[in-house]
Structure 1
Amino acid sequence: MISQDGEVKMKSVTEYLDHSAAVYPDKIAIVDQYRSITFKDLRKEALHIASYIIRHFQLFHRPVCFYLDKSASCISAMMGIAYSGNFYTPIDTKMPQARIEKILETLENPVILTDKAHQEKVRNFMGVTDVFCLEDAFQEPCEESAVYEKVDKIIDTDVLYVLFTSGSTGTPKGVIIGHRSVIDYIEWVVETFHMDADTVFGNQAPFYFDNSILDIYSMLKTGATMYIIPQMYFAFPIKLLEYMQKNLINTIFWVPSALCLVANLRALPKRHVDSLSKILFCGEVMPNKQLNQWRREYPDALYGNLYGPTEITDVCAAYIVDRNFRDDEALPMGKACRNTEIFLLDENDRLVNAPEKEGELCVRGTCLAYGYYNNPEKTKAAFVQNPLNHSYSETIYRTGDLVKYNERGELVYICRKDYQIKLMGHRIELGEIETAASAVAGVTQNCCVFDDRRQKIVMFYTGSIEEKGLSTSLKGMIPDYMIPGKFIRLKIMPLNLNGKMDRVLLKQKLEE
């Protein structure tokens, strides 16, 4: 727990829920479209789940999946699995069957928690033998003493969750994160962004996406309230803003695509959310054109550009927006989070310090994942010995992201290493083209991919501008050799399960 001098001495995230349930027992913790639940009842549900797992399965340090609609019950499941000394993997009910089967195969057919509504469907999954329902766990008596015998055996390096991420390949990889990494991250988040029991989160991120870690565990630590915003509202921005206003939401942590949707559909001036004071975003590049629209509508809000892949517990760098930017400028990523070191390596694994010189962003610290579940080959490629340290074993994570320092010493994102191409002798970062196009009037979203077969840059975009007009506008902003060879206007930009632009699907469209 937390000592009298404020020093954090925790070994399990379940201590967050124990603390909030004791201090704020009757305060609403989570509101979804089905119900609201207090901290006391959230803990009660979690303990029943833990007790059931211990009694019926005798598992410890093993994966337990939950297959549930996005709801407060998912948080009960997460905490119940954690209390039992095991680790969780969320499986969303909207996930494609093939992806679910791959996840279960990687986890070697784990126990699955579901509810009566989905029980039959879960039993049809490949190789699943052990399935239990929330309703059954809640009906059985809770042996709290047996639960805390397990809790006492947990240490802070034990695994908390395995989240599956596809990255640019489309093949799911199970990222393994421990209790200590989440605790380290959440302590920084709460302190940096001044979150407390008065914070009201408007959750957008799916629970199988690492962005949700900030909402969930900040809520559990501080006694804040989290509203799980129904997904349908993101298709109707005015209704979304009305929902936020009605429920006094003051803090959001969304993917940029969600923020851009609200800005692009001109909803911001039509419905003001008086309570909104913190606007954080992460997961992809946030274009300044749309960010500036938010800043004009909410000039006094705190804006935070957070960066980090799933492999470093969600976020390893942050920039609190402190100055104005033109629409065609790149927004900085800022600097490393507390207790995390970020450094850049060039193609020869030499340290990059000079401003404007690009390098691959590498990370070391408590935030690092333990690798990919049952995938030693991928783990070995990304989690490597620090090439700057030849004296002892020290693991770093190579993100595959190319970045640079600006003149202020802030990190600035360029693109993925696999988005950097060579064309006609020129080295080109596709992200630079996207940044330029984002500032063009009449462009709402855009994404560049490289057609390897035809050796051509292709830009997919949405907006009112014609292809020829977009090409002409770009000629005044970037060199001729960077102008895409083909422009494809779409009615809607495809998004992946996490709400980010689906580059894999766009790449596949080139072959159609």
Structure 2
Amino acid sequence: MGREIFMRGHNWTERLHEFLLLGAKLTPEKPAVVEYQGNETGFLSYRQLQDRVVGYAKTLDELGLDVGDRVILEADTSASSIAAFLACSSRGLPFVPVSPETPAKRLQSILDTIRPSFYLQADDGRRDGIPEQVGTGRFGGSGVTIERAAAPRVRHRREIVGADPAYVVFTSGTTGRPKGVVMSHRGILAFYRGMLQHGIVGPESRVATTAPLQFDFSLLDIGLALGSGATIAPVPRSLLRWPRRFVKFLRDAEVTQVNGAPSIWRPVLRHEPAQLAELGEQIRGVLYSGESFPLPELRHLQELLPEARIVNCYGSTESIACSFTDVPRPLPEDMERMSIGFAHPGAEMTLFDDDGAPVTEPGADGQIHLRSSSLFTAYWGDPAATDQALVLDPGAPESGQTVFRTGDIATRGENGELYLVGRADSMVKIRGNRVELGEVERKAAEFAGVASVSAVLIPKEGADPVLALFVVLTPEAQKGGPFDEMGLCAFCMEDLPGYMAPQEIHVLDELPVTPNGKIDRPALREISEAAAGAGRVTAVKPASAEAAAPTSDRSGRP
């Protein structure tokens, strides 16, 4: 069954579950999901996936939830978690994915914001303490088990429409609280249709997804695979820490396409390049997103996978992504940065300066504004932040059309392609995860003895960037002896995911500022570099496996 059949079949679909389960009608016995079962790989066919969705949906329907009621979904990516969110979609229940590693305080903030009716976690989940007013249940291969019924509801809705929310993904927020990005069925399907026009995979592909379920990149991967009639292969989170086991999974699952942040490749390139090279004919494609790919490492990956089409994916949670640009093969020796190209079909990226004037000259800076049918609806419960991001089209405000002001600064190349320059605010990406430095700063400022603090992402040549905190102590703390850097790190991890934990802490007499009074972040980077050169860096190592850098597993230790 060819790709063109799937493309035509998608024309009638209006809701997320219909789009992703089209394979159950066209190729029902074909593998939809491949995953580890013990030490071996097994699969769920499209028909079996649909049967699991139907079974889950039946149980959810018995809860009496109304269209629009939110369901928290705590799980890693798996056949069952895919079935769970598709079941939610089929009942008009926006799903809110969270990680099993989400700290309790951060989860509580999400619960307070989204006010879910039901909380679902995988059979092996360990979460407890869910508020009594929220129903709870578990899901797995045998179905959904209700542990505590949802509070009684009155159903007001009958139909699920394309404008209804399909899901809410929480990202780091500037206010210090997680920010819920609401995406409609219509929005996510518009993105999928635009993405599939690039022909990145076909029905015979097997797509490895390495992103956690609560990161919207996982939904990109699932849509790319199932929307193409292909097979999705979720890589167990534990394997990403061990390069040899990661490569073994790619081999055993017969993966042909690997998607993920550039950081997933660094341990493999360092420790297991020969094993990866053995898959040079098997792996035909790589898609990366979330951060820039260091060019030396990208060249190395091209050498090891000579047949692979490598695609640079750019975008934000607010639109999933908005461009897919093929990496030149080979990379020109004089190339200094990778282009993000042009928006996918059905979308357009334009540049505007601070005064709202269009930027068209090559080399001039402007902020990217995205026109697209795949834009998010709002930030849940935060109209002020929504109005800052979804703005009237600066080029034609009279039209009433809204565009997404991304906050990304870019320049235009000679042929109209775009090149990223930086951020208009303090948002950075760490291992593909979006992080607002303000959220880290607000948490650290609550620690005893901290008078003021600034968080900065420090680039490291040939390694992941490091999140550094620069701290000024209160007068009392200055008199109280050595500052407890490890205690501050542990304190931050009470609320923040591992990738947001500080890895360097510098205690300063004062924070440097620019002439206009803003924190001088370049000066802070220089302080970090000088301290590293003098061997005076105070490094704190997060205990979370999510934050730990992958290492070689040559010793065979688990």
Query: In the superposition, relative to structure 1, how do residues 461 and 331 fare at CA in structure 2: closer, same or farther (>3 Å)?
Result: farther
Q: How many angstroms does 1:451 deviate by?
A: 5.3
Report the secondary structure of 2:82's partner residue: helix
Of residues 151-160 and 485-494 in structure 1, the stretch that sits farther from structure 2 once superposed is 485-494
Instruction: Identify the residue that residue 17 of structure 2 maps to in structure 1.
Output: 14
Letter of the aligned partner of 1:446 in structure 2?
P
CA distance in 2 between counterparts of 1:405 and 1:268 reads: 36
CA distance in 1 between counterparts of 2:14 and 2:333 reads: 45
Instruction: Identify the residue that residue 209 of structure 1 maps to in structure 2.
Output: 215
1:381 aligns with 2:388: yes
Q: How many angstroms does 1:219 deviate by?
A: 2.5
Q: How many angstroms does 1:399 deviate by?
A: 1.2
CA distance in 2 between counterparts of 1:169 and 1:330 reads: 32
Instruction: Identify the residue that residue 55 of structure 1 maps to in structure 2.
Output: 62
- 5 Å matches for 1:141-290? 153-166=159-172, 171-263=177-269, 265-272=270-277, 273=279, 274-290=281-297
C-alpha contact (below 8 Å) 1:196/1:222 kept by paired residues: yes
C-alpha contact (below 8 Å) 1:164/1:174 kept by paired residues: yes
Q: How many angstroms does 1:111 deviate by?
A: 1.1
Equivalent residue for 1:399, pick from 398, 402, 406:
406
Instruction: Identify the residue that residue 86 of structure 2 maps to in structure 1.
Output: 79
Report the secondary structure of 1:296's partner residue: helix
Report the secondary structure of 1:186's partner residue: helix
Query: In the superposition, relative to structure 1, how do residues 495 and 360 fare at CA in structure 2: closer, same or farther (>3 Å)?
Result: farther
Instruction: Identify the residue that residue 151 of structure 2 maps to in structure 1.
Output: none
Q: How many angstroms does 1:242 deviate by?
A: 2.3
C-alpha contact (below 8 Å) 2:19/2:189 kept by paired residues: no
Cα offsets for 1:200-252 (capped at 9, x unmatched): 01110111101111221223223311111112222221221222122221111
Instruction: Identify the residue that residue 113 of structure 2 maps to in structure 1.
Output: 106
1:28 aligns with 2:47: no
CA distance in 1 between counterparts of 2:95 and 2:130 reads: 18
Q: Which runs of 5+ in 2 are unaligned?
A: 147-155, 428-455, 474-501, 505-521, 550-558
C-alpha contact (below 8 Å) 1:305/1:333 kept by paired residues: yes
Letter of the aligned partner of 2:425 in structure 1?
D
Q: How many angstroms does 1:68 deviate by?
A: 2.9
CA distance in 1 between counterparts of 2:190 and 2:101 reads: 31
Query: In the superposition, relative to structure 1, how do residues 347 and 449 fare at CA in structure 2: closer, same or farther (>3 Å)?
Result: farther
Query: In the superposition, relative to structure 1, how do residues 45 and 3 fare at CA in structure 2: closer, same or farther (>3 Å)?
Result: closer
Q: How many angstroms does 1:447 deviate by?
A: 4.8
Cα RMSD (Å) of the superposition?
3.5
CA distance in 1 between counterparts of 2:304 and 2:110 reads: 42
Of residues 285-294 and 389-398 in structure 1, the stretch that sits farther from structure 2 once superposed is 389-398
Equivalent residue for 1:96, pick from 103, 126, 142:
103
Query: In the superposition, relative to structure 1, how do residues 7 and 75 fare at CA in structure 2: closer, same or farther (>3 Å)?
Result: closer
Q: How many angstroms does 1:369 deviate by?
A: 0.2
Cα offsets for 1:285-315 (capped at 9, x unmatched): 1111211110111233111111001001x11
Letter of the aligned partner of 1:418 in structure 2?
D
Cα offsets for 1:319-378 (capped at 9, x unmatched): 111252448711111111111111112122211111111111111211110011111121
Instruction: Identify the residue that residue 444 of structure 1 maps to in structure 2.
Output: 463
C-alpha contact (below 8 Å) 1:445/1:461 kept by paired residues: no
Query: In the superposition, relative to structure 1, how do residues 210 and 72 fare at CA in structure 2: closer, same or farther (>3 Å)?
Result: same
Cα offsets for 1:378-427 (capped at 9, x unmatched): 1122112222223221111111111111223221111112359xxxxxxx
Higher relative contact order (CA 8 A, sep 6+): 2
Letter of the aligned partner of 2:390 in structure 1?
F
CA distance in 1 between counterparts of 2:7 and 2:272 reads: 47
Letter of the aligned partner of 1:197 in structure 2?
P
CA distance in 2 between counterparts of 1:448 and 1:53 reads: 41
Report the secondary structure of 1:240's partner residue: helix
Q: How many angstroms does 1:22 deviate by?
A: 2.2
CA distance in 1 between counterparts of 2:543 and 2:346 reads: 33
C-alpha contact (below 8 Å) 1:215/1:253 kept by paired residues: yes
C-alpha contact (below 8 Å) 2:408/2:421 kept by paired residues: yes
Query: In the superposition, relative to structure 1, how do residues 213 and 490 fare at CA in structure 2: closer, same or farther (>3 Å)?
Result: farther
CA distance in 2 between counterparts of 1:210 and 1:46 reads: 21
Q: Which runs of 5+ in 1 are unaligned?
A: 141-149, 421-429, 455-459, 463-479, 502-512
CA distance in 2 between counterparts of 1:26 and 1:170 reads: 47
- The number of residues matched between the two structures is 450
CA distance in 2 between counterparts of 1:4 and 1:413 reads: 31
C-alpha contact (below 8 Å) 1:382/1:399 kept by paired residues: yes
Instruction: Identify the residue that residue 37 of structure 1 maps to in structure 2.
Output: 44
Equivalent residue for 1:64, pick from 64, 71, 96:
71
Q: How many angstroms does 1:128 deviate by?
A: 4.3
Q: How many angstroms does 1:69 deviate by?
A: 4.2
Instruction: Identify the residue that residue 412 of structure 1 maps to in structure 2.
Output: 419
Query: In the superposition, relative to structure 1, how do residues 295 and 105 fare at CA in structure 2: closer, same or farther (>3 Å)?
Result: same
Instruction: Identify the residue that residue 451 of structure 2 maps to in structure 1.
Output: none
Of residues 185-194 and 404-413 in structure 1, the stretch that sits farther from structure 2 once superposed is 185-194
CA distance in 1 between counterparts of 2:503 and 2:108 reads: 33
Letter of the aligned partner of 1:51 in structure 2?
K
- 5 Å matches for 1:114-133? 114-118=121-125, 121-122=127-128, 124-133=129-138
Query: In the superposition, relative to structure 1, how do residues 16 and 481 fare at CA in structure 2: closer, same or farther (>3 Å)?
Result: closer
C-alpha contact (below 8 Å) 1:64/1:81 kept by paired residues: yes
CA distance in 2 between counterparts of 1:387 and 1:266 reads: 49
